[in-house]
Chains A and B, each alone.
Chain A
């Protein structure tokens, strides 16, 4: 037992700790503890009143036991008693016990509050500090209620000691974080700002922390802090280090205060006042210059403190994103650090460059460091540094360097740490898709991914490659050939068998002409893998086999034999057995025509954002998605679609999902499959530009309109005549609060937002309702401006809300005769708008029908003499008027073109509707 014991020693405590340390086993320790607990309990319950010292000693023992990880269910009262002791050490132990053990909703809070109140009014700075610490440590609502108005008074009172001011500032900061509504702004706020001028640097440091947090919530109230902060920073940066005495840390002038001031400035845009702005630029330049000076000490503390200020200055430069010279200097500085011998600096440089890569000013400058970053990926010993290198490569990737970066990531994947493989796989899959100019490269890349890291290729990734192959007929033959070749490998990953089975089942016919890949060869190849695969894969293969029967009548008998074998028909797995039985029957009784219809090629998937991106974002942070749909749709499509958009060939999709039922795994399959086949229930992935999702909402009303790393905005809307209501769901994807949250939209349309809560808790979702009224016909959609504070920075997001003219349609059913009569009436040249355009999506009748219905008009059957054409009618309702509208869409399959004609009584309406709808096909 060491003799160290300054102040007062508690011998009994030391003996007890010693005993515990000597325990040979966990059981012995528990036994010793139980003995001690029994002893303390009897002392506390005993008739003899305990003196302060004993009480302190026992409370301290209990604290020790608790910190060892054992539960303590008594002694709280004795600790509270210690608070009112006159002896400092007893009071101190009492406060410590309470800080550690009392959770915020304890019954004792009232008693504790009384003791705190006494100490706060004691005018003894040591006692006041103890009390303030206790408030900050516990931070409960009751405490905030009791003291939130008292603490600002202490903070700004003229006669408060410096040390108490520091405690008061930080205590207030804590209360503001836990119960912001209880901390009133008032006349003290202006005086707090002036603490930035205080003589005592400790007070300035504490005050800067408080002001930064308050300024994030109420930027306007603390605007004056900007000039004070710049002035203070400038004085520190230009001071000789000795000026600041003990606030100089290893020859660096007040690093903590400097960093806090730089952080405070990140709550604001660059100063508008020219003089102030140039003074700040000077400061930032000085900091950058100092990085080039020789170090004043060899100690790591010196370089850490110096570089801490430098990195914070760079963060401010990036935040302002307005001075190209500073940005380029920052990028060069980080470039130097990329090759520094300190691992920490390389790590931070990689991290910082990720944000620089997203600034337009510096994206190109960052790209010049690509070789160094690739080298880091290959040579860094520390996995977390390599992880940063992967992040940076991902951030700097664009069309010009995608092939190289993807290739490097793929080769790194071969040796990458298991912990980060899945993320790299997702990143490669996203980059390959995003920057694919030719899709053969994309298919090769994904197959490589499966080959190198098959276990880490999640379902999203292989679903996605299938979606893309099915939707692009130019790559189908190549995909079939490539998977066929890949399957030749003696040992190939099960994910490859899945992709191979699916693709050959759909497009095996495209390579069947070659005798080396004749139908029978294809089938034998697939079937040679069958027995090595898990049940879901076997189920998928069975579906591929029945598709083969349709594609290649010549192998029908072979496949029927396989299906008929006992290992299939009597398989212990119900799903496999059922498939074998049903497919066998189907192949026996159905005529070729029926088979061809049932087993027709899969219709194209609705074009949508990659679900992989959503997965990556999800991995990065616990995002919450709005509950867009009341119930997730049943996978087999038994639930009716609530929306009529994006629906692929209804009848056949459903029968196919049924036939192909990939979802025979009851576990996680359901949600993933929905992801692939879903209409809008699944979250489409994020985009950077807030207008990008807008066109998706022309024919539907629900979905995710905006998403970035912090925030996701989902919409659910309904319209009746000229009125609409939009539910906006803001999902905070981070674990920290968004503050000063506000959203507004210009009054173009009479959009009435109901006020939004100014704060969104981490991980929480907030709903806002917009009531919309269409006054007259319009073009421009309202823009929703969102502002909030996250961390140190003000986030500004503008999202174009998908309120379009067609939302105010009421469908009108009419007979052929009526239609042509009205068509004739609307024959004036300016009433008709016509557009001929190339199909952007595969031309599918059912999809087209669904889109026209989603657009809001009634589809009129049997009106147009040509059954391939579509005819629709509806009325646009505005407050002032109603506009009748007829439309006609003529597809030309051969040319892959459409002709769209719109006739309405108003030329502006015809024009706008034509623009909106023609973009959808």
Chain B
């Protein structure tokens, strides 16, 4: 995988994850290209696009577009399911996730993605395990906070 972008129907970028290093200029250009290209698509078109030598896989969930770029030899259908799995994970964490959740808790959206993908490869496909580790980090943070806030004696 090369990058994952989340943007709204109005073209507002909500999340960007880059799996290879790229200059800010390149990133901005790609974001612009992707939003215009994907937003121009008609409903019920196919979910795949060819862009330069990459495959673009996109899908709309409610008001958000999820747009994933993969190398040409990768499997499109499974890329589509990577997007779906991510949506499921967000859903599980936020409880019926909506665009606002991702705006206000953007850092959580990144953390969840990191539990699931790494360096552009899928890290853990089991939903239970990912959820467990996300919960564990929330827990850890609470415990640590409690632990640290105890007054020294």
A residues sitting closer than 8 Å to B (CB atoms) are 1-2, 4-8, 14, 17-18, 21, 60, 63-64, 67, 69, 86-89, 92-93, 96, 100, 103-104, 126, 132-133, 136-140, 163, 166-167, 170-171, 173-174, 177-178, 201-202, 205-206, 209, 245-247, 249, 254-257, 259, 263, 301, 304-305, 307-308, 311-312, 315, 343-344, 346-348, 381-382, 384-385, 387, 621-622, 734-736, 791-793
Contacts and interface: CB of A to CB of B under 8 A. Distances in A.
B126 A201 contact: yes
Given A136-B118, A308-B78, A621 B21 contact: no
B78 A255 contact: yes
B124 A17 contact: no
A170 B119 contact: yes
Contact of B107 (A93, A104, A247, A256): A93
A14 B118 CA distance: 28
B81 A171 contact: no
A206 B75 contact: no
8 contacts: A5-B105, A69-B28, A86-B148, A100-B110, A174-B120, A246-B129, A249-B125, A256-B78
Contacts of B49: 384
B25 to A, nearest CB: 12
B10 interface: no
B72 A6 contact: no
Contacts of A92: 107, 111, 137, 141
A4 B101 contact: yes
Interface string B11-39: 00101100011010000100000000000
B23 to A, nearest CB: 8
Contacts of A100: 110
Given A4-B101, A382-B42, A384-B50, A308 B142 contact: no
Contacts of B28: 69
Interface in B117-153: 118-129, 133, 136-138, 140-142, 144-145, 148
B21 to A, nearest CB: 5
Contact of A256 (B45, B104, B122): B122
B127 to A, nearest CB: 6
B145 to A, nearest CB: 7
Interface of B: 13, 15-16, 20-21, 23, 28, 42, 44-50, 52-53, 71-73, 75-78, 80-81, 84-85, 93-94, 100-101, 103-108, 110-111, 114, 118-129, 133, 136-138, 140-142, 144-145, 148
B84 A246 contact: no
A256 B138 CA distance: 27
A384 B46 contact: yes
A301 B81 contact: yes
Majority secondary structure, A binding face:
helix
A171 B141 contact: no
Contacts of A205: 122-125
Name which of B16, B75, B126 has the most chain A CB atoms within 10 A of its CB: B75
Contacts of B114: 133
A160 to B, nearest CB: 15
Contact of A348 (B44, B76, B108, B133): B76
A305 B142 CA distance: 37
B145 A4 contact: no
Contacts of B142: 7-8
Name which of B28, B76, B142 has the most chain A CB atoms within 10 A of its CB: B76
Contacts of A256: 78, 122, 125
Contact of B136 (A126, A347, A736): A126
Contact of A257 (B46, B77, B125, B137): B125
Contacts of A201: 125-126
A87 B141 contact: yes
A136 B113 CA distance: 14
A174 B117 CA distance: 12
B81 A249 contact: yes
Given A255-B81, A304-B80, A87 B122 contact: no
